Structure 1
């Protein structure tokens, strides 16, 4: 139905990811959904009845009854259901703008001092995606002259690293939430018995246990996206984390250059 289609087009920017999934499903299955009660549709989609009702209001419908009526007409028209506009590129641009603002607001001088003093940077990650980020961080540090070692994602490796680390070395811990109880307990123990490391957390969540027990904390946002055609969710893009690493490393190089200039000035005086 043209009216329902125009409503979706005009109001898609108001919908969150869950609401986009709901409307995509009903548009792809108008005949079946037009026969379901609000309670049965909510149960089928594993959402609350109020979530579907709020969606109707965002689309400009009076309620679920009007949605059912429009879906019935859509089913009769035998028109191909529309596909929700993919706003990932727009969201990525917005989130990267937020990353840049966050980076400019933070003072990383103390981290850069510790990086400069470290003979080796150790990087520990807690998952597959996090390990890819760890490899990227190690590569970026290597090309600016810092020796970085990526540790296997195993607790025994984390325990063992303190035996051969030198005083002043840095340990990055890349964790999605920062609330892995086992890892946090191990970091706490290491801090108690090992005065060699300076610890840096790299996490998605701003408020987390790991960030509260380390010397330096860095936050990166992620972007959720879904495959509406298959009605799947839970996929996350880590692009902003890589962007933040590039900002950190490039600014670290600029910081090093400024330190050299300061030394030259002091010698000249």
Structure 2
């Protein structure tokens, strides 16, 4: 079951909006869906049977039978009591403190210069939580007068942005692990054909392929709600990531004011 959730996280960037809605429904209703035939589930969701089958393939499943098996495992896990972590608050507080210590050690002068000179700022993300972080980053940049475009989590949009970028444009890439092979391959190809982008990675992992591709890197810890391995993937608090963004925006805003003087 943990593997099923891992598969969803790793392949979420391959899904379109309709497929994400299907995944959200079946994961939220595993007991119900595990007892439905392919035809009945398709009818219930107002989609075709082939659409569900294609979704299974995108998630790395052999077919609908394997999806039903994973959903039955998920339903069984939901019926088991989950041990709540009593020290989650302390873990989260420590992560926040660690972010502040990490941030104070950064030299952001060159990054702020590049960001200030950029005509266009783009933000690309992989995964649902990362999309929310991307929207938050865009909002915070907008509040200090720096407009950013959030690209949909689809490689076609990333490829399209490549065709009209200008020299010095900034591309934020928000990825939980930084090891999305499809994304990293595309970024590596863009780097060969387009020297205009300056990449800024935003990831949980300090050692990743994405980090090696980016000119600037930011790291944030993600705190798990529970030590139960079945619930680690996706069941984490991203508050440190939002806190790191607030620190960056605050420092960048102060930097701009000082340079305006």
TM-score by length of 1: 0.63
Q: Larger C-alpha radius of gyration, 1 or 2?
A: 1
1:168 aligns with 2:164: no
Q: 2: distance between equivalents of 1:188 and 1:114? A: 21
1:243 aligns with 2:243: yes
Deviation at 1:130, TM superposition (A): 0.4
For the 8 Å contact 1:119–1:147, the answer to whether it is kept is no
1:104 aligns with 2:128: no
Deviation at 1:171, TM superposition (A): 0.5
Q: Residues 167-190 of structure 1, C-alpha deviation per residue, up to 9 Å, x if partnerless?
A: 111000000111111111111111
Deviation at 1:260, TM superposition (A): 2.3
For the 8 Å contact 2:96–2:243, the answer to whether it is kept is yes
Q: Residues 105-127 of structure 1, C-alpha deviation per residue, up to 9 Å, x if partnerless?
A: 11111111111011221000011
Question: How much is the aligned-residue C-alpha RMSD, in angstroms?
Answer: 2.0
1:203 aligns with 2:203: yes
Q: 1: distance between equivalents of 2:183 and 2:260? A: 38
Shift in CA distance, 197/232, structure 1 to aligned 2, threshold 3 Å: closer
1:252 match: secondary structure: helix
The ranges of structure 1 where at least 4 consecutive aligned residues each deviate by more than 3 angstroms after the TM superposition are 231-234
For the 8 Å contact 2:199–2:215, the answer to whether it is kept is yes
1:226 match: secondary structure: coil
Q: Which runs of 5+ in 1 are unaligned?
A: 1-82, 262-269
What is the count of residue pairs matched by the alignment? 179
TM-score by length of 2: 0.65
What's the counterpart of residue 41 of structure 2? none
Q: 2: distance between equivalents of 1:102 and 1:186? A: 30
1:114 aligns with 2:114: yes
Deviation at 1:226, TM superposition (A): 2.1
Deviation at 1:232, TM superposition (A): 4.2
Q: 1: distance between equivalents of 2:209 and 2:231? A: 30
Q: Which runs of 5+ in 2 are unaligned?
A: 1-82
Q: Residues 143-177 of structure 1, C-alpha deviation per residue, up to 9 Å, x if partnerless?
A: 00011000000011111101122211100000011
The correspondence of residues 1-269 of structure 1 with structure 2, limited to 5 A, is 86-226=86-226, 232-234=231-233, 235-261=235-261
Shift in CA distance, 187/223, structure 1 to aligned 2, threshold 3 Å: same
Deviates more, 1:119-128 or 1:218-227: 218-227
Q: 1: distance between equivalents of 2:231 and 2:162? A: 42
Q: 1: distance between equivalents of 2:246 and 2:104? A: 13
Q: 2: distance between equivalents of 1:155 and 1:251? A: 31
